[in-house]
Amino acid sequence: MKRPIFLILVLSALLLMQSSAAGAAVKYVGGDISLLPSYESNGAVYYDTDGTTQITDLLSYFKNLGHNAMRVRLFVEPDNADSEAKGEGVVQDLDYVKSLGKRIKDAGFAFLLDFHYSDTWADPAKQYTPADWASLSDDALYTKIYDYTKETLQSLIDAGATPDFIQIGNEISYGMLWGVKNGTLKKCYTSSTDNWSRFTTLLSKASAACREVCPDAKIIVHTERVAQTDVLKAFYDNMKSYGVDYDIIGLSYYPVWHGDLKQLSTALNTLENNFSDKDIWIVETGYYYQYQPNDAYYDLSATYPVNGDGQCAFTEALIDTLNNHSSVKGLFWWHMEANEYGLDWATKRVTDKWWDESLFDNNNGKALKAIKVLKNFLSTGSGIGRLTNAENASAETSTMLYSLSGQCIGRETNRPRHGIYVSRGKKIMAE
């Protein structure tokens, strides 16, 4: 039967929408809440942004805000960490993570497990081998990381805390499991081939354990060289060259250390252009609401003042930037649960220092405005945005619209007819 051309076009558009929605990866937003049980047990008091409504169940509060994933770090044996690290929050052993992970899963969140493969903080400047592993040869260490990863994941499964996403290492831009502090360290630099075979073998052993025990989980390889896109690209080139099996590129992005949002976009463009088969997640980010340090590499306070409003403005701008990159599927605020309000500083402090990039105010326990805009990251999760007639961006800032066939039909400010269009590389539904 001959069908009207208009009906054919409508049906084609609907099929395209359904196909795109089915093929689009779900997006995740939330934060690293690794110290939540410590704050709770020590009596921290949380309030909503109004400053009067007390929050008694923080996970339910996050859920009601639209967050859908939470991240927790794991140390091999945090009792071996020095007093400074313990005072900064290094307490997460396996029993701690099993309990918190189960709470996260029971509350309906996706669970991101962050293996540090260290007794203490693992970051670009500190990737020390756990004390109990220090005497192992490289070959024995390959076996150890496989066995440890496998046994840990099985223990989490048995506890009802199966991870949905797994980081095999934390900020491993220069390798991991270097050796003991003040000893001979096996670091990796992209300007040299030294230690790369060792490093990527460790990653591959960890990845193999993840695939075996948690076959449905996605694996993340996490770096933080946003400010150095040449190093960033070379690192992931090496992941490909050495055949490391993973799914997601994980990044840390702190503007005071990594630069402004233009620099972030440059890094994301570099990754999208060269590793199009990988999703990208911002697994750590944050911005100060007070007391920005004087030694910050980049000072964005003229654009985003160091207060609650400035933190919120930065968060909105960050989300706008990320939502212009179709490969970015995850956004996690680091240590967003930090809140020293209500604690007895003489006997019940959770950390020795305030973390002033939290989403709660240490001075009064109030949630900061930024916590309620994080959900906006999910607004393009289906791959289809919306343009209403009420939107009226200036002609200078609006973008060009294209039909699904690729024909340019003018700027968004032209208020197109009802239908589906393409803008900034994404489908837009005009209403």
How far apart are the C-alpha atoms of 144 and 111, rounded to whole Å?
24
The pLDDT score that the predictor gives to residue 13 is 44
How far apart are the C-alpha atoms of 153 and 169, rounded to whole Å?
14
Least confident of 83-97, 191-205, 274-288, 337-351: 337-351
* CATH number at 24-382: 3.20.20.80
| CATH 3.20.20.80 in the chain, residue ranges | 24-382
DSSP 308-339: HHHHHHHHHHHHHHHTT-TTEEEEEEETTT--
The pLDDT score that the predictor gives to residue 420 is 59
Cβ(306)–Cβ(289) below 8 Å: yes
Residue 230's nearest CA partner among 270, 289, 203 is: 270
At 94-115, the pLDDT tens digits run 999 999 999 999 999 999 999 9
How far apart are the C-alpha atoms of 230 and 172, rounded to whole Å?
16
At 373-384, the pLDDT tens digits run 999 999 864 343
At 131-151, the pLDDT tens digits run 999 999 999 999 999 999 999
- Is residue 170 pLDDT above 90, yes or no? yes
At 10-64, the pLDDT tens digits run 344 444 443 333 334 599 999 999 999 999 999 999 999 999 999 999 999 999 9
The pLDDT score that the predictor gives to residue 398 is 40
DSSP 275-321: -TTSEEEEEEE---SS---TT-SS--TTTS-SSHHHHHHHHHHHHHH
